[in-house]
């Protein structure tokens, strides 16, 4: 074949998705491609899509694994509604994802995988490559598996290893199509496989073979160029929400001067926080992988009693198991950060899929009158800053703080400008001083109602705390009804006073209008873009995205007052809207809800917003 001179098409953004069986290496290909976009200066957002079953049958739709990347020369807020390019390694992955392809999208298909048995297993009645059903797309049929094996013939590589390398052949094709430098991917191999140089050579050979193949075939009619995005000067990296959360907690530990302790039990999709923090003994982090969820949170409470910045990480099922112990932290008035990376439920549910269905549990899921601080991140980058804030608020106000993220944020990634420690706000835990003659376990600051944190062993500060109700100020066990009422009221008032230490709620748009769109958590990107599109059309629509949930910002009622209609968008059946209705009763609330383990698309939001704007 002879090389063909191709046109270069400049695009401001493109959505690419890698899909295949669980063992096809789609997550790895997607991550390397994302890194190349970041190195090229593009902004990006990613979304890995794992099967909900641990070992779904091969070549079936439930077993499809995917990785979506939205990259561009402008600020990227979402993972993208529909894909411009899909790399599908078998019929099942094409079947599961074709609905997410734009008309005219490029489909790179491994024709070697489209045998009769696999086609039938995927639910097709005929071969989609040859039956005309893909005529509205640009199809690049490539014998990826056989060409991968052929490229490795001289290296005497066994068939199994060769087949496992086919994802790098597809990645090489994409590097050519997007005018990327192969050096970045090769550097990645050198780091990842440094203990096995043969794997570096194998992956490099296959990557280059895929690049060369794309350079010679007629089906690649043009290549794509995406200019760098304009960004503030600084040091950036591609970061997922779980990694950002871990780093935010480490930063809070350094700022507060309190050693970090994490007591946790592994659970999807939160485990990576535990794994990351375990790497940082050099920064004083202590990580305890407990035998179960209850042991994890109880160990953290013990560490908090001794003066550590104590954390526990989990997802919905584990969060419910921790509820009694969280009540103990409320009663003892000890700081505790509980990170809940939400997933689809109930019970085991869809453990690799994302929802916002734990909000009511975070607000009310404990016995007794048991208020805690609740905040939520909205982007992977946000996970750093709001994990930091969760630690700050918990320690400075001596009460547990629940920090909500979800699978979309935890696994998804975005570009993150690494901040300077000097630019982060101070954290000042209310530590009691040695031999303070006025110290009492439950004596409170009159402004904040916060008790002091007396570290055991500090001279002259012997005290008791525990799960039984305590006498106000003194701290001895008390069953007096009036005292119990007083302590319940004080703990609740202390949490409400946190509103004095958080920013007021902002509105994106006018403070009055026809429609206020309310959102929280990972819905931010899609809602933001949908609102911007309608504002550009002249619609009287504004957006309020909440990050502080308990307590709500002090001006929340004022924010809600200026609009004829309020629509609350969330990935559950309506939990935040019920909370707002209870706090601020009105008859103009509306809802947009989705419980499919998938994020909102911009299209479905704009359709609903237009419908509400047109209704009288």
**Closest C-alpha among 405, 403, 266 to residue 341:** 405
2 class by beta-carbon count within 10 Å (0-12 exposed, 13-18 middle, 19+ buried): exposed
Separation between Cα atoms, residue 591 and residue 576, nearest integer Å: 10
Q: Where are the beta strands (DSSP E) in 357-473?
A: 373-376, 400-406, 413-417
- Average pLDDT along the chain, 616 residues, taken 10 residues at a time: 73 96 91 93 93 81 94 95 96 96 96 95 95 95 96 92 94 96 94 93 96 90 91 91 98 98 97 98 97 98 98 98 98 98 95 96 97 98 98 98 97 95 97 95 96 94 91 95 98 98 98 97 98 97 98 98 97 98 96 96 97 92
Tokens of 225: 């160029």
| Angle at the Cα of 335 from the Cα atoms of 481 and 316, rounded to 5 degrees | 95
pLDDT score of 3? 56
Helix, strand or coil, per DSSP, at residue 334: coil
**Closest C-alpha among 553, 536, 535, 533 to residue 545:** 553
CATH number of 7-225: 3.40.920.10
For the chain, the average pLDDT equals 95
Domain boundaries in the chain?
Answer: 7-225, 242-423, 513-614
pLDDT score of 7? 86
pLDDT score of 1? 44
Task: Give domain 242-423's CATH number out of 3.40.50.970, 3.40.50.2000, 2.40.30.40, 3.30.450.20.
Answer: 3.40.50.970
Q: Global pTM?
A: 0.94
> Do the strands 563-570 and 548-550 form a parallel or antiparallel pair, or are they unpaired?
unpaired
pLDDT score of 22? 85
Helix, strand or coil, per DSSP, at residue 104: strand
**Closest C-alpha among 380, 135, 439 to residue 238:** 380
Residue 117 CB neighbour total at 10 angstroms:
9
26 near 66, Cβ under 8 Å? yes
Residues 6+ apart with CB under 8 A from 378: 409, 520, 521, 522, 523, 524, 525, 545, 547
CATH class of the domain comprising 513-614: alpha beta
**Closest C-alpha among 298, 346, 341, 343 to residue 322:** 298
- Do 242-423 and 513-614 fold alike per CATH? yes
């Amino acid at each position: 074949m002879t090389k063909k001179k191709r046109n270069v098409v400049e695009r401001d953004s493109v959505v690419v998705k890698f899909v295949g069986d669980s063992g096809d290496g789609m997550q790895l290909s997607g991550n390397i491609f994302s890194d190349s976009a970041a190195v090229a200066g593009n902004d990006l957002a990613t979304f890995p899509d794992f099967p909900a079953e641990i070992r779904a049958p091969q070549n079936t739709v439930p077993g499809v694994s995917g990785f979506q990347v939205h990259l561009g020369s402008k600020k990227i807020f979402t993972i993208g509604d529909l894909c411009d390019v899909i790399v599908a390694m078998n019929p099942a992955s094409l079947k599961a994802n074709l609905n997410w392809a734009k008309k005219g999208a490029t489909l790179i298909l491994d024709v070697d995988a489209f045998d009769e048995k696999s086609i039938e297993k995927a639910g097709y009645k005929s071969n989609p490559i040859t039956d005309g059903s893909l005529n509205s797309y640009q199809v690049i049929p490539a014998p990826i598996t056989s060409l991968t094996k052929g490229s490795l013939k001289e290296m005497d590589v066994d068939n199994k290893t060769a087949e496992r390398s086919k994802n790098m052949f597809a990645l090489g094709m994409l590097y050519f199509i997007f005018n990327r430098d192969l050096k970045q991917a090769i550097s990645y191999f050198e780091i990842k496989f440094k203990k096995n140089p043969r794997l570096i050579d194998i992956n490099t050979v296959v990557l280059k073979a895929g690049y060369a193949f794309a350079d010679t075939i007629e089906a690649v009619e043009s290549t794509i160029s995406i200019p760098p995005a304009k960004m503030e000067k600084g040091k950036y990296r591609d970061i997922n929400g779980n990694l950002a959360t871990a780093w935010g907690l480490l930063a809070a530990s350094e700022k507060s001067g309190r050693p970090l302790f994490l007591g946790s039990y592994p659970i999807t999709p939160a485990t990576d926080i535990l794994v990351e923090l375990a790497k940082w003994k050099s920064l004083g982090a202590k990580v305890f992988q407990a035998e179960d969820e209850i042991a994890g949170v109880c160990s953290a409470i013990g560490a908090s009693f001794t003066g550590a910045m104590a954390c526990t990480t989990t997802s919905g099922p584990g969060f419910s198991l921790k509820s009694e112990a969280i009540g103990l932290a409320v009663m003892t008035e000890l700081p505790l950060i509980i990170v809940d990376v939400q997933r689809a439920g109930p019970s085991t549910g869809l453990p690799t899929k994302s929802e916002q269905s734990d909000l009511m549990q975070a607000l009310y899921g404990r016995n007794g009158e048991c208020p805690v601080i609740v905040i939520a991140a909205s982007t992977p980058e946000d996970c750093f800053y709001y994990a930091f804030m969760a630690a700050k608020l918990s320690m400075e106000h001596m009460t547990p703080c629940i920090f909500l993220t979800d699978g979309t944020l935890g696994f998804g990634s975005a570009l993150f400008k690494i901040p300077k420690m000097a630019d982060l706000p101070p954290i000042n835990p209310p530590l009691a001083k040695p031999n303070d003659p006025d110290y009492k376990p439950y004596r409170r600051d009159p402004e904040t109602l916060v008790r002091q944190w007396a570290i055991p062993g500090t001279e002259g500060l012997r005290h008791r705390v525990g799960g039984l109700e305590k006498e106000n100020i003194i701290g001895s066990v008390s069953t007096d009804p009036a005292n119990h009422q007083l302590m319940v009221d004080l703990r609740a008032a202390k949490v409400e006073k946190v509103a004095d230490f958080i920013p007021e709620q902002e509105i994106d748009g006018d403070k009055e209008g026809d429609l206020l769109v309310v959102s929280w958590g990972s819905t931010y990107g899609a809602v933001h873009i949908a609102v911007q599109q309608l504002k550009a059309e002249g619609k009287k629509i504004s957006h309020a995205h909440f990050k502080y949930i308990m307590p709500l910002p002090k001006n929340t009622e004022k924010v809600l007052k200026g609009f004829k209609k309020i629509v609350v968008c969330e990935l559950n059946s309506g939990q935040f809207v019920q909370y707002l209705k209870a706090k601020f009763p009105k008859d103009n609330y509306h809802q947009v809800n989705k419980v499919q383990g998938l994020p909102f698309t911009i299209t479905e939001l704009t359709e609903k917003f237009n419908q509400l704007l047109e209704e009288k």
